[in-house]
Amino acid sequence: MTTATDTAPITDLTVIDGRGGAFYALLAGLATVIAAGMWAANIMETQGHHVTGMNNRIVWGIPHVFAVFLIVCASGALNVASLSSLMGQKIYAPYARLSGLLAVALLSGGLAIITLDLGRPDRLMVALTHFNMTSIFAWNVFFYAGFLLLAVLYLWTLMDRSMNRLTKPVAGVLLAWRLTLTTFTGLIFGVLVARQAYDTIIMAPLFIAMSLLFGSAAYTLLLLAACRWTGRPLDDTVLRALARMTALCIIVVLCFVAIFHGFKIFTVGFEGMQAFLLLDGGVFPFLFWAGQIAAGSLLPLGLLMWRPLAATRVRTAAAAGLVLFGGLAQLYVIVIGAQAFPLDIFPGKQIIESSFYDGVIAHYQPSLLEFLLAFGGVALALLIVVLSMKILPFLPRARARD
């Protein structure tokens, strides 16, 4: 443990020990969850998605919620890297490598979920070689691949002294790339005119703000856990800075959420959809108000901004965990709530009779297979982080003294 006054720069980064029983138990646990996810994906692939809670109306389920969550987190996980290498904030320098590693791991886990959930993963090469350039999905293939390459290149410039001169230029390109990637991820929803809960350009800046928030929370939680697990030093100054950054991001996300729902409420034709998501939609209003707003925003904001508790590591970790829980609740409402609300095929007309559930709320009950696949992607991301810290130096070991 360090004190707030002990702020000399950390100069030595090393690998973790990784030889104890607890370390191997962690690896075994993560491998088990990944294996369970692969088993679930195989069942879904061989028997069809009818074994899940998804149907021809709810085509994006829990796996897509987790996949989008991990992808959005991956972009924001590079906040510390950008502050250190691009903005010249030297206090973050010892922690920049872990920032890049977490970004690579989270994106890998998210893409693994999407690949296995869409069906026919054996046809992945078709999707990678045939593009419809008028589709946001096609553009995202390039942005995801480019993000991984740039993040790995950034880590190379940090670890190889002969490449250090390229760190700042690569960090600048990576910042622009990750903001563009998150923008296009938001536009996946923002350009879907068939869904009333989407179809607005504000989804792009909303997803950027969400990425900055979720990535900061995920990085803070990982840093606290890694330093606690391995007994590594962590400046309270850095912890307070991360807490302030997370609190600021919470406020920004709340502002965009208020603008988004306010715009929809006061736009003709969206009253029913907003009432469904915010008032009478069953689980969706509960997740919005109790999960996203109360537990995922206001409570962690109070923990982080209450000055006597701002530097308390347990409280900071609790706030970060609540933010991530709120993020999952938010994406559940965005991804699944919008699909559950019936399509308005004939605006202004009342449908009296339908042969295909027109005007009927869609029902969705997540299955165990979906949760196994989703948590398998999370476990894959964590396994990448743990093994990488075992092989390469990502964490500080010692503190330089004056």
What pLDDT was estimated at residue 357? Answer: 62
62-76 helix and 136-159 helix, angle to the nearest 10 degrees = 40
Q: For tokens 């994006």, name the residue.
A: 60
- Letter string b/e over residues 54-89, b meaning 16 or more CB atoms within 10 A of that residue's CB: beebbebbbbbbbbbbbbbbbbbbbbbbbbbbbeee
User: How many angstroms separate the CA atoms of 397 and 16, rounded?
Assistant: 9
What pLDDT was estimated at residue 232? Answer: 81
For the chain, the farthest-separated pair of C-alpha atoms sits apart, in whole angstroms, at 80
Alpha-helix residue ranges (DSSP H) falling in 336-367? 338-340
Q: Which residues contact 138 (CB under 8 A, 6 or more apart)?
A: 131, 132
* Burial status of residue 350 (CB atoms within 10 A of its CB: 0-12, 13-18, 19 or more): exposed
Give CATH superfamily name and number for 11-341+362-396.
Formate dehydrogenase/DMSO reductase domain (1.20.1630.10)
User: How many angstroms separate the CA atoms of 252 and 212, rounded?
Assistant: 10
What pLDDT was estimated at residue 370? Answer: 95
Q: Name residue 395's beta-bridge partners.
A: 14
Q: For tokens 């989703």, name the residue.
A: 374
Q: Which residues contact 231 (CB under 8 A, 6 or more apart)?
A: none
What pLDDT was estimated at residue 8? Answer: 37
* Burial status of residue 130 (CB atoms within 10 A of its CB: 0-12, 13-18, 19 or more): exposed
User: How many angstroms separate the CA atoms of 398 and 402, rounded?
Assistant: 13
Please give the model's pTM, rounded to 2 decimal places: 0.90
User: How many angstroms separate the CA atoms of 128 and 264, rounded?
Assistant: 36
- The domain locations on the chain are 11-341+362-396
Q: Which residues contact 390 (CB under 8 A, 6 or more apart)?
A: 15, 16, 18, 23
User: How many angstroms separate the CA atoms of 146 and 298, rounded?
Assistant: 35
What pLDDT was estimated at residue 198? Answer: 78
What pLDDT was estimated at residue 194? Answer: 60
User: How many angstroms separate the CA atoms of 356 and 76, rounded?
Assistant: 41
203-230 helix and 62-76 helix, angle to the nearest 10 degrees = 80
CA within 13 Å, CB half, 257: 22
DSSP β-ladder status, 10-14 and 395-399: antiparallel
Q: For tokens 């933010």, name the residue.
A: 323
What pLDDT was estimated at residue 199? Answer: 72
What pLDDT was estimated at residue 348? Answer: 60
What pLDDT was estimated at residue 237? Answer: 87
User: How many angstroms separate the CA atoms of 282 and 220, rounded?
Assistant: 33
Question: Within a 10 A sphere around the Cβ of 365, how many other Cβ atoms?
Answer: 10
What pLDDT was estimated at residue 308? Answer: 52
CB 234 within 8 A of CB 224: yes
For 127, the token pair is 């999707």
How confident is the prediction along the chain (402 residues), in pLDDT tens digits per residue?
A: 333 333 334 447 788 877 778 889 999 999 999 999 999 999 988 888 889 988 888 889 999 999 999 999 999 999 999 999 998 888 899 999 999 999 999 999 999 999 888 767 777 777 777 777 777 777 888 899 999 999 999 999 999 888 999 999 999 999 999 999 999 888 888 777 667 777 788 889 999 999 999 999 999 999 999 988 888 878 888 888 999 999 999 999 999 999 988 888 887 777 788 888 898 888 999 999 999 999 999 999 999 887 654 458 888 999 999 999 999 999 999 999 888 888 766 656 665 556 666 667 888 999 999 999 999 999 999 999 999 999 999 988 744 333
Output DSSP code: residue 397: E
